[in-house]
Amino acid sequence: MVLLASYPENQGMPIASPHSKDKVLATFGAGVRRARKDRGVSQEELALKCGIDRSYMGSIERGEQNSGLLHIARIAKALDIKISELMAVAKL
């Protein structure tokens, strides 16, 4: 099996999840973007507050990443909302 990350042109860039563009991921990402914009926070600022790379945050918002619970918790905390509220914004 060859990992895409082993190729120099992919270094530093998040590799899309095999579930990329799944409706649930796209819905969650749109909810993160909506909650972030409602609070007047830039994507870069949110990424810094979460300790997540800005390009990875962008891929979450585009529905290209299957975020784990720790990332979801960090995002909610950085937005000063509960995980359940973030999921409600995303309509999940």
Domain boundaries, the chain: 19-89
**CA 88: distance to chain centroid?**
16
Contact 78, 54 (CB under 8 A): no
Averaged over 41-68, what is the pLDDT? 94
Q: What is the pTM of this model?
A: 0.79
**CA 17: distance to chain centroid?**
12
Q: Choose among 83, 78, 81: nearest CA to 57.
A: 78
Q: Choose among 90, 91, 92, 81: nearest CA to 41.
A: 81
Averaged over 76-83, what is the pLDDT? 97
- Return the CATH number of the domain spanning residue range 19-89: 1.10.260.40
Q: What is the pLDDT of residue 3?
A: 42
Q: What is the pLDDT of residues 5-44, one digit of tens each?
A: 443 455 555 666 666 668 999 999 999 999 999 999 999 9
Angle between the N-to-C axes of helices 43-50 and 69-78, in degrees from 0 to 180, rounded to the nearest 10:
120
Task: Return d(Cα 89, Cα 91) in angstroms, integer.
Answer: 5
Mean pLDDT rounded to a whole number for the chain: 85
CA atoms within 13 Å, Cβ hemisphere of 42: 5
